[in-house]
């Protein structure tokens, strides 16, 4: 599904075949104990089934959480478009741990990052996307007493916090991590300090504690640069768990609407749109002809419909195992597999879109001031 293209993994570009074991070595992170995660029966399916594969200081965070110590989670969103199903992954993680450990969750919306990075985007546009995206996040049902959302252009103290980190971050260090060039605008150069401030928000507001950041692996450079200033700030280095990318419908390495609108399922898509996109674009591991498929069976490991069921939409291990077995055996056809996914996605979106509407009344209760 990915193949020959050169592999690129930076916070702004993911393309080509991704070798996740190699990334662990390159980025200097640790492999997660996948067998142990598989045992966590109450965890979201994508955690039990290995989408999160790497970490920094995760056992220490869990250790503190299990002991009842104050721990926290930060996971943000860059609001430059409507949200798709892949965007929900880290928020589902946050919500799972909040339920389990009662921890604080901070959700920054980096309207500034998107404004600085995306050429044509105005402040009004990022503000509108932030307002819209907040609904999708709050639709998941966070605890309002333990969850704070904010956007950088509206939250009054972010510049002051970011300044504390900016003063300790040289241009050389930022350039080495992010590859800034002469034509990079100075807002973009400052932004890593803001992103770092996000991750330190729990410690700025409530003192030293372990913080966990569930992110896709491409965002890890931010973790490296922000962990470097922990000692100087008198804080504990934040930890992270890193996800593999959820592929796009066509099999692109990372689901991304900026690449192709038809490659993603938006959280606001209608049942008809979902049906059409999956039937038309979802990369299939099935064989070309019915006869061949019946005889040789399909390959679920590259089949996008199967992968979406595995990571997001079929939490029941037995049901998933049967789907996999039947598909490999050629008993389940590609169109039938897609039909299962379509039904699951539309059931989820129906509920999500209802909660999304209800969330409009909740935004102010969650907003950090």
Q: Shortest Cβ distance from residue 169 to a second copy (Å)?
A: 5
Sign of CA dihedral 13, 163, 131, 244: positive
| Most distant pair of Cα atoms in the chain: their distance | 66
Q: Please tell me the distance from the alpha carbon of residue 263 to that of residue 256, in angstroms, as a whole number.
A: 7
Q: Nearest 5°: CA angle at 201, between 195 and 202?
A: 140
Decide whether 153 or 348 has the Cβ nearer to a second copy: 153
For residue 15, what are the β-bridge partners? Answer: 8
Among 69, 175, 319, 365, binds a second copy (CB under 8 A): 175
The answer to whether residue 168 forms part of the interface with a second copy (CB under 8 A) is yes
Stretch that binds a second copy, among 2-10, 157-165, 198-206, 267-275 (CB under 8 A): 157-165
Residues of span 178-197 touching a second copy by CB under 8 A = 180-190, 192-193
Q: Given the structure tokens 């100087």, which residue do they identify?
A: 232
* Residue in 213, 216, 215 with CA at minimum distance from that of residue 197: 213
Closer to a second copy by Cβ: residue 175 or 360: 175
For the CB of residue 189, give the shortest distance to a second copy in the complex, in Å.
Answer: 5
CA-to-CA distance for 14 and 219, rounded, in angstroms? 11
- The nearest distance, CB 87 to a second copy, in angstroms, is 23
- Kindly state the tokens that stand for 249: 């419908």
Q: Which of 16, 20, 146, 164 binds a second copy (CB under 8 A)?
A: 164
Residues 6+ apart with CB under 8 A from 315: 44, 45
Nearest approach in angstroms of CB 171 to a second copy is 5
Among positions 89, 93, 166, 267, the unique one binding a second copy when judged by CB under 8 A: 166
Is residue 234 within the footprint of a second copy (CB under 8 A)?
no
156, 272, 288, 364: which one binds a second copy (CB under 8 A) = 156
Q: Does 177 bind a second copy (CB under 8 A)?
A: no
In angstroms, the CA 174 to CA 273 distance is: 42
Question: DSSP assignment of 9-64, as one string?
Answer: EETTEEES---HHHHHHHHT-EE--HHHHHT-TTS-HHHHTTSEEEEESHHHHHHH
| Residue from 22, 100, 160, 325 binding a second copy (CB under 8 A) | 160
Q: Please, which residue, 3 or 182, has the CB nearer to a second copy? A: 182
Which residues in 134-153 contact a second copy (CB under 8 A)?
152-153
Distances from the Cα of 288 to the Cα of 3, 303, 306, 308, 327, angstroms:
19, 13, 17, 21, 14
Q: Nearest approach, Cβ of 129 to a second copy (angstroms)? A: 15
Please, which residues have CB within 8 angstroms of residue 223's CB and are 6 or more apart in sequence? 56, 199, 213, 215, 238, 240
**DSSP letter assigned to residue 7:** P
> Rounded CA gap, 79 and 136, in Å?
11
**Contacting a second copy within 265-324 (CB under 8 A):** none
Map residues 209-228 to x or -, x wherever contact with a second copy holds by CB under 8 A: --------------------
Annotate each residue in 103-132 with x if it binds a second copy (CB under 8 A) or - if it does not, as one string: ---------x--xx------x---------
CB 106 within 8 A of CB 201: yes
12 binds a second copy (CB under 8 A): no
Contact positions toward a second copy, by CB under 8 A?
A: 112, 115-116, 123, 152-154, 156, 158-160, 162-164, 166-172, 174-175, 180-190, 192-193
């Amino acid at each position: 599904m990915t193949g020959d293209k050169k592999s690129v993994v930076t916070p702004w570009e993911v393309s080509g075949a991704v070798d996740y074991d190699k990334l662990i070595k390159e980025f200097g992170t640790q492999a997660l104990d996948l067998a142990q995660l598989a045992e966590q029966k109450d965890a979201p399916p994508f955690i039990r089934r290995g989408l999160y594969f790497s970490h920094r200081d995760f056992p220490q965070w869990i250790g503190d959480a299990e002991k009842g110590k104050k721990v926290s989670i930060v996971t943000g969103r860059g609001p430059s478009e409507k949200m798709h199903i892949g965007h929900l992954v880290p928020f589902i993680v946050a919500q799972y741990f909040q339920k389990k450990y009662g921890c604080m969750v901070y959700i920054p919306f980096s309207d500034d990052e998107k404004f600085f990075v995306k050429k044509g985007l105005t402040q009004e546009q990022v503000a509108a996307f932030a307002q819209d995206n907040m609904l999708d996040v709050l639709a998941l049902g966070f605890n309002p007493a333990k969850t704070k959302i904010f956007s950088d252009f509206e939250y009054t103290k972010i510049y002051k916090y970011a300044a504390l980190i900016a003063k300790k971050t040289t241009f050389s260090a930022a350039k080495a991590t992010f590859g800034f060039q002469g034509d990079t605008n100075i807002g973009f150069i400052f932004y890593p300090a803001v992103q770092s401030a996000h991750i330190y928000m729990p410690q700025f507001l409530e003192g030293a504690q372990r913080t966990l950041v569930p992110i896709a692996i491409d965002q890890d450079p931010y973790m490296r640069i922000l962990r470097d200033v922990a000692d100087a700030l008198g804080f504990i280095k934040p930890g992270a768990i890193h996800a593999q990318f959820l592929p796009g419908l066509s099999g692109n390495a990372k689901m991304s609407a900026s690449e192709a609108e038809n490659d993603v399922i938006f959280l606001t898509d209608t049942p008809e749109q979902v049906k059409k996109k999956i039937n038309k674009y979802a990369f299939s591991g099935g064989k070309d002809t019915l006869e061949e498929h019946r005889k040789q069976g399909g390959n679920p490991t590259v089949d996008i419909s199967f992968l979406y069921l595995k990571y997001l939409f079929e939490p029941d291990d037995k049901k998933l195992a049967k789907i996999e077995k039947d598909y490999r055996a050629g008993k389940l056809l590609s169109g039938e597999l897609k039909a299962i996914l379509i039904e699951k996605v539309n059931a989820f979106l129906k509920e999500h879109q209802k909660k999304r509407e209800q969330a409009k009344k909740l935004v102010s209760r969650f907003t950090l001031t």
